[in-house]
Amino acid sequence: MTPRPELQDLRQRLRDIYAAMATFGSARLAAKPPILDLSMDLSGDASEEFHSHQDAVQGLRALRDAVRQDLDVLEKFLNDPACKTAPPLSTNAPYLISVWNEVLHARPPIVTIWRTFLEGDQQSHVPRRGSRKPPGVKVDVVAEGDPVPSTKNSRLLAEFREIDSYQTESEDSEDEGEVGRPSLAQKEFDNSILRIGRSLLDAAHRNPLAGTNTVPSITLRLTRLDPSPSDPREHDPRIAHTLDLLRGMGIDVELGERDPVQLPRVVAPPIRHLEPTIRLNLDLSILIALVSDLTHSSLPTSAVEADARYVPSVQYREWKRKRLEATNGPDEEIDEGRLGENGLGKHSRALANQALQEMNRGLLHELRDRLAAVASPGLANVEFWTTPEARDRCLRIVLSKIGGRNEKRRAAALFSGEDTPLSEAEEQYWAGSRYPRVFLPLIPIRVFDSSVPGAAIKPPARSDDDRALSPFFEVLARTCRDILAQETIPDPRTLSNPRSSRTPPAAGEFGEGTSTPDEDETAESEIERAAVTKANPRLTAHTVQSMLWGAARGWTTLTANKSSVKAILRDIRAGEGGGGYGWDREVHDASRTDGEGGAAVEKAAMWVVDPRSLAEGMRSDYVE
């Protein structure tokens, strides 16, 4: 006979749960943002899903660790031959199994597992290993419903017996004439379950659903509490009275374990394929990339050739020296490091790396191939849009000394205006490019009629080609409006410059890191840094405006500014409840599946590519 069959059963169930957690699809746990990420990672590989450490559901790792810990205890106990005669083992397995069952049954997205809602105005708390538990109410699963820890008859009966003992002591004291003596006897009926219910109601009222004033519903699952137990020794009418009071508070009370037969089957989620909309919204970083020498010039044949191409010419070094002299003033010496490896050398290496990225997959090739899969023949219905601020900053940056001769011509052609015939603008843009004329229907780039869309412009339910759009568009638009509703402030680096209120463009303003001329590289018409948002100084106002226009129109926003995408996702999480991204609370049809077992296809809200900087002036063969 198998020793301790009840523990053997718990061990097997924990084994199954632990294995299921490893394969449980993250899409089942938390909705991923529909962001098409084609930027290169450190290994040189590209992935179509936007990866972030914030994509995982908070608390899942802690639950898995707890299952592993209890499983290890059970394994050690049952592997001991003396377990047949050993004292009963204390285990949390029934509770952990109940929590996992609620995770399986919860409607996605699951926001948090094991979240403590603190008392008063303190922020909610996700437990960390070794941290002290602050006062509050612990919720096992924050999703469509909020199950909490279970209890059982014996525990509640013990609590009732303790209450009865206080009541008996109080009556004995009154019989002995000690009327004024303090007493622990209850004046009103109460117990730990009712206190949990009140704490949950308080937490629910202090944490409405993201973006609304709706109070979340509460489900209290009491897996081991039975108002009509088969053992008469565990019967107490106060248990049923407790349940009635909970329901009277508006709490949904569920009793008993989930039926194992009805538990959802853990399967890997379908592969999601993100595709762009046929109208693309371009931010400043992409406008820079579209005119960049890196995008249009012939490709280097090797890494050595790429490095050699972007060794600054003598003419450029001399111009750089003169600019530093003008910036420093007549009495200050030039920092020669700015002209050496840590200055021009660092920027040259960054441009060479971008050239290697272009060798791997050309930006215009990528755009054409992706759009051809969703557009009409010849990309006839494809349109490119941008904001007035992105257009103006692009022209100021490129037409200054920063842009090379051909880069200036391309920028002027992109925004040539109605006075220039379309064929002439196309000729000016594609001249000297390694691509044939009208490889992409970029011209004309259309410009929105205002910096931000009016309040009446809401994200549509369906795309231009009649595909359902993810609710993420609405969440993104709401977050952008909230950020822009607060005032914008000058870039802190502008305020820290005592010589001038105008400084050259920041590197991150065009894309990623070192993708632009260093910050001392001013132009003949100096360029003022873009204003940043007070809500998040990592986000420039024009970047948030671009994201807002794309989201409000239901169009894919194309960007080379990955750091800003990460920043806006952090703001979304903070504004939508702190645990998940806050969309997908209602059933929607944002994706379609191509055939049985096929990939789920969904429209991308944002499309991230690698930056291409203005590089023509840094070429070793460049002559003004």
Domain boundaries, the chain: 48-262, 275-590
pLDDT in the model for residue 165: 63
State the pairing for strand pair 272-275/600-603.
Answer: parallel
CB neighbour class for 477 (10 Å; exposed up to 12, middle 13-18, buried from 19):
buried
Rounded to an integer, what distance in angstroms lies between the CA atom of residue 371 and that of residue 365? 10
Phi, psi of 218 (to 5 degrees): -125, 130
Structure confidence by residue, pLDDT tens digits, 16-28: 999 888 766 544 4
The helix/strand/coil state of 50 is coil
Strands 606-608 and 112-118, bridge-based pairing: unpaired
3-state helix, strand, coil in the chain (%, to 5): 45, 10, 45
**CA separation for the pair 159, 153 (Å, rounded):** 10
Q: Using alpha carbons only, give the angle 473, 479, 484 rounded to the nearest 5 degrees.
A: 125
Pairs from 78-84 (Cβ < 8 Å, separation ≥ 24):
78/3, 78/4, 78/7, 78/8, 78/11, 83/3, 83/4, 83/7, 84/3, 84/4
Cα–Cα distances in Å, from 578 out to 107, 110, 149? 18, 12, 22
DSSP H or E stretch at residue 6 = helix 5-23
Question: What residues of the chain score a pLDDT lower than 50?
Answer: 26-30, 42-45, 52-55, 145-150, 152, 169-175, 180-181, 183-184, 186, 340, 495, 498-525, 578-580, 584-589, 595-597
3-state secondary structure of 400: coil
How far apart CA 110 and CA 425 sit, in angstroms, is 51
Instruction: Report the alpha-carbon distance of residue 286 to residue 391 in Å, rounded.
Output: 11
Could you tell me if 105 and 263 are in contact, meaning their C-beta atoms sit under 8 angstroms apart?
Answer: yes
Give the per-residue pLDDT at 595.
47
The identity of residue 133, as a single letter, is K
Distance CA 74, CA 66 (A): 12
Taking the C-alpha atoms of residue 351 and residue 371, their distance in angstroms, rounded to an integer, is 27
List alpha helices for 79-133, DSSP H: 93-105
CB atoms within 10 A of CB 376: 11
Dihedral (CA of 197, 203, 208, 209) sign: negative
CA dihedral 5, 7, 10, 12 (to 10 degrees): -70
Helices first, then strands: H and E counts in the chain: 21, 15
Cα gap 458→551, rounded to integer Å: 8
> What are the helix (H) ranges across 486-576?
492-495, 507-510, 541-553, 562-575
Q: Is 322 helix (H, G, I), strand (E, B) or coil?
A: helix
What φ, ψ does residue 593 adopt, rounded to 5°?
Answer: -110, 125
The strand ranges marked E within 387-524 are 446-447, 488-489
In the structure encoding, which two tokens stand for residue 413, read together? 């052609």
User: Is residue 483 a contact partner of residue 533, using CB atoms and an 8 Å limit?
Assistant: yes
Handedness of CA 613, 618, 621, 624 (dihedral sign): positive
| CA distance linking residue 337 with residue 330, whole number of Å | 18
The alpha carbon torsion through 420, 424, 425, 427 (nearest 10 deg) reads -170
Task: In whole angstroms, give the CA distance from residue 405 to residue 617.
Answer: 8
> Which residue in the block uniquely carries the two structure tokens 């018409």?
525
Q: Which residues contact 618 (CB under 8 A, 6 or more apart)?
A: 310, 312, 316, 347, 348, 351
**Rg over CA atoms, the chain:** 32
User: Which two tokens mark 561?
Assistant: 């500014």
CA distance 328 to 144: 61
Alpha helices for 486-540 (secondary structure H): 492-495, 507-510
